[in-house]
C-alpha cells in the first residue's frame, strides 16, 4: 500500500466528521439527533436532486438554526452542471446562503464556483464528487481557486487517496462517500437517462435506467428479444451495488479522509437515522463493527460493496437491482408516560408482534405489543392506518424522536 508514514501520524490528530443527508425537515432532525456532525441539503438552485428533496429559502434558514442549535454544521448543494442562464443566479443565491449562516456550499461546475466566489467571497466552498477530482494536481488547482474541501471521486482507491493527501496542502480537507447508492457511470456523469427519457442525471432528474431490466436484440431478428438472465430471470445487468464502508473506516482515516459522507437525500428519515446511528457508533467505538454492520443490513439497500477503495470491484456477486431489507419502520415515538408510548403510526403492526426502539447511541430495546389503543380509548388488535396517533404499553425506556421498527426480511 502507498502511505506517507509522516502523514499517517498527523492524521490521527484530525477531527473526523460524519456527514449525513437530508431531503426534508424530518430527515434533518433525525440525522442531527442520531449523530451526524454535519448535514447536507439541497436548495432551490442547482441542487442535483428532485425538487421534492430540496429546501426553499425559508426552510434553509430554519435548517441552519436547527443545525447550529445542535452544535452541528449545515452544507447546501449547488452541484448540478449549470446552464448559461443559471450562472447570474448563483452569486445572488450564494449571498443569501452566506447571510443565512450556511457553513459551506458544495459545487461542481467551475463557472458556478467562480460565481459563488464573486458573490460571497467568505462562503466556504466544497468541491462535489461530480467534478471528478481524483489526482493531487487537480486538487491543488481547486485549492488555489478557494476550495476548502474536495469530495473525492468515487473511483479512487485508498492508495490513490493517500497519495493525493500527501501531495496537497494540509489545509485542504478530504471528504469521501462511505455509504449509499452508487452511479454506474464515472463519478455520476451519465447520459443514459437523458438519451432514453430526456431527464438528465447531471441536472438532478435521473430516471435510473441502469436499474431497469434489459434483454438482447439481434439485428436480423427484429422484435425478437433474448433474455439476459443473471439469476432467477432478472436482467438488471447495469445496476450497481450500494456502498458500505463500515469495516474500512480506519483505513480511510489513515489515508487522510476526515469527512465520511452518507448518500441519501432522497431517502427517508428512518434511513437517515439508522445509517447515521450505525456509523456514529462505529466511529465512537460504542458498539462493535460486527453489530454496526448487522444494523446496516436491516435498512433498505441493494447488495453491498466497498466500491473501488481496494482498487477492484466485487466480481461474480449477483445484484438483482432490487432492494433488500431486514426491518420495517412502523412508527415515531412522540413521548412516553406511565408505561405507555404515544406513537405516530407509519406502517402496520399488530398485537403479538415484537417491536424494537431505535435510539441514538445505545442498543436497540425490544418489547412485545400487548395492546394498541387509539386517542379515543378504543382498543385494537392491529394498526393499519398511517399517521394515526396510538398508545402502546412499553416496559422499556424510549424518548421523543426515537423510531419503532419490526423485523421483517424482504425484497422489493
Averaged pLDDT score across all residues of the chain: 88
Per-residue pLDDT at 230: 56
- Of 170, 199, 227, the one marking the end of a domain is 227
Q: Give domain status of residue 318, yes or no.
A: no
pLDDT digits (tens, 9 = 90+) for 151-179: 999 889 999 999 999 999 999 999 999 99
Same domain, 70 and 105: yes
Chain position carrying cell 466485487 = 314
What share of the chain in percent tops pLDDT 70? Answer: 82
pLDDT over 70 (residue 346): yes
What are the backbone angles phi and psi of residue 338, rounded to the nearest 5°? 50, 45
- What does 146-203 look like in DSSP terms, one character per residue? TEEEEE--TT--HHHHHHHHHTS-TTSEEEEEEEEE--SSGGG---HHHHHHS--GGG
Same domain, 92 and 222: no
Q: For strand 324-337 and strand 104-107, is the pairing parallel, antiparallel, or unpaired?
A: unpaired
pLDDT over 50 (residue 1): no
Same domain, 289 and 388: no
Nearest to 63 by CA among 32, 89, 35: 32
* Number of folded domains that form the chain: 3
Q: Give domain status of residue 312, yes or no.
A: no
Q: Give domain status of residue 11, yes or no.
A: yes
User: Between residues 43 and 52, which one has the greater pLDDT?
Assistant: 43
CA distances from 117 to 147, 201, 397 (A): 10, 26, 49
Same domain, 168 and 274: yes
Please, which pLDDT band fits residue 314 given cuts at 50, 70 and 90? low
Please, which pLDDT band fits residue 46 given cuts at 50, 70 and 90? confident
Q: Enter the pTM of the model.
A: 0.87
Q: Give domain status of residue 250, yes or no.
A: yes
Please, which pLDDT band fits residue 143 given cuts at 50, 70 and 90? very high
Same domain, 127 and 178: yes
**What is the C-alpha to C-alpha distance for residues 89 and 298, in angstroms, rounded to an integer?**
42
268's CB contacts (< 8 A; 6+ apart) are 27, 329
Burial (CB < 10 A; 0-12, 13-18, 19+), residue 218, is exposed
Q: What is the mean pLDDT of residues 178-200?
A: 74
Per-residue pLDDT at 6: 44
pLDDT digits (tens, 9 = 90+) for 211-235: 677 767 777 888 877 666 655 555 5
Per-residue pLDDT at 3: 39
What share of the chain in percent tops pLDDT 90? Answer: 69
Q: Give domain status of residue 319, yes or no.
A: no
User: Between residues 59 and 225, which one has the greater pLDDT?
Assistant: 59
User: What is the grid cell recorded at 281?
Assistant: 457508533
Q: Give domain status of residue 247, yes or no.
A: yes
Per-residue pLDDT at 13: 43
Mapping DSSP to helix (H, G, I), strand (E, B) and coil, where does residue 354 land?
strand
**What is the C-alpha to C-alpha distance for residues 77 and 53, in angstroms, rounded to an integer?**
11
Mapping DSSP to helix (H, G, I), strand (E, B) and coil, where does residue 379 land?
strand
| CATH at 42 | 3.20.20.70
pLDDT digits (tens, 9 = 90+) for 244-301: 999 999 999 999 999 999 999 989 999 999 999 999 999 999 999 999 999 999 999 9
User: Between residues 410 and 74, which one has the greater pLDDT?
Assistant: 74
Same domain, 274 and 347: no
Q: Give domain status of residue 310, yes or no.
A: no
Residue 121 per-residue DSSP state: T
Q: What is the mean pLDDT of residues 21-36?
A: 97
Q: Give domain status of residue 311, yes or no.
A: no
Residue 190 is part of which domain span? 186-227
Amino acid at each position: 500500500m502507498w502511505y506517507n508514514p509522516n502523514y499517517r501520524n498527523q492524521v490521527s490528530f484530525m477531527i473526523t466528521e460524519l456527514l449525513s443527508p437530508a431531503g426534508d425537515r424530518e430527515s434533518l432532525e433525525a440525522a442531527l439527533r442520531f449523530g451526524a456532525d454535519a448535514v447536507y441539503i439541497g436548495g432551490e438552485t442547482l441542487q442535483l436532486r428532485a425538487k421534492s428533496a430540496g429546501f426553499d429559502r425559508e426552510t434553509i434558514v430554519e435548517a441552519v438554526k436547527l443545525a447550529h442549535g445542535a452544535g452541528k454544521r449545515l452544507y447546501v448543494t449547488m452541484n448540478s452542471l449549470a446552464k448559461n442562464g443559471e450562472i447570474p443566479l448563483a452569486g445572488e443565491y450564494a449571498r443569501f446562503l452566506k447571510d443565512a449562516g450556511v457553513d459551506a456550499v458544495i459545487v461542481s461546475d467551475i463557472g458556478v464556483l467562480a460565481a459563488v466566489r464573486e458573490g460571497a467571497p467568505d462562503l466556504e466552498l466544497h468541491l462535489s464528487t461530480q467534478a471528478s477530482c481524483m489526482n493531487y494536481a487537480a486538487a491543488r488547482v481547486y485549492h488555489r481557486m478557494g476550495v476548502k474541501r474536495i469530495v473525492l471521486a468515487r473511483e479512487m482507491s485508498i492508495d490513490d487517496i493517500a497519495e493525493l493527501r500527501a501531495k496537497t496542502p494540509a489545509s485542504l480537507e478530504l471528504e469521501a462517500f462511505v455509504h449509499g447508492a452508487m452511479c454506474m457511470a464515472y463519478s455520476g456523469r451519465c447520459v443514459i437517462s437523458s438519451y432514453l427519457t430526456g431527464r438528465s442525471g447531471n441536472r438532478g432528474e435521473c430516471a435510473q435506467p441502469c436499474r431497469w431490466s434489459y434483454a438482447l436484440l439481434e439485428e436480423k431478428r427484429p422484435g425478437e428479444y433474448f433474455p439476459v438472465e443473471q439469476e432467477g430471470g432478472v436482467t438488471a445487468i447495469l445496476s450497481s451495488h450500494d456502498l458500505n464502508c463500515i469495516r474500512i473506516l480506519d483505513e480511510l482515516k489513515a489515508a487522510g479522509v476526515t469527512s465520511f459522507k452518507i448518500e441519501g437525500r432522497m431517502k427517508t428519515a428512518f434511513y437517515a437515522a439508522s445509517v447515521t446511528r450505525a456509523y456514529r457508533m462505529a466511529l465512537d467505538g460504542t458498539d462493535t463493527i460486527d453489530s454496526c454492520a448487522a444494523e446496516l443490513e436491516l435498512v433498505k439497500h441493494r447488495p453491498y460493496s466497498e466500491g473501488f477503495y481496494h482498487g477492484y470491484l466485487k466480481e461474480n456477486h449477483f445484484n438483482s437491482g432490487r432492494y433488500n431489507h431486514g426491518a420495517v419502520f412502523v412508527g415515531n415515538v412522540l413521548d412516553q408516560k406511565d408505561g405507555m408510548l404515544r406513537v405516530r403510526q407509519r406502517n402496520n403492526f399488530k398485537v403479538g408482534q415484537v417491536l424494537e426502539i431505535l435510539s441514538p447511541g445505545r442498543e436497540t430495546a425490544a418489547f412485545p405489543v400487548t395492546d394498541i389503543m387509539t386517542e379515543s380509548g378504543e382498543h385494537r388488535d392491529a394498526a393499519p392506518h398511517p399517521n394515526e396517533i396510538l398508545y402502546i404499553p412499553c416496559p422499556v425506556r424510549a424518548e421523543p424522536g426515537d423510531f419503532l421498527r419490526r423485523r421483517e426480511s424482504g425484497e422489493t
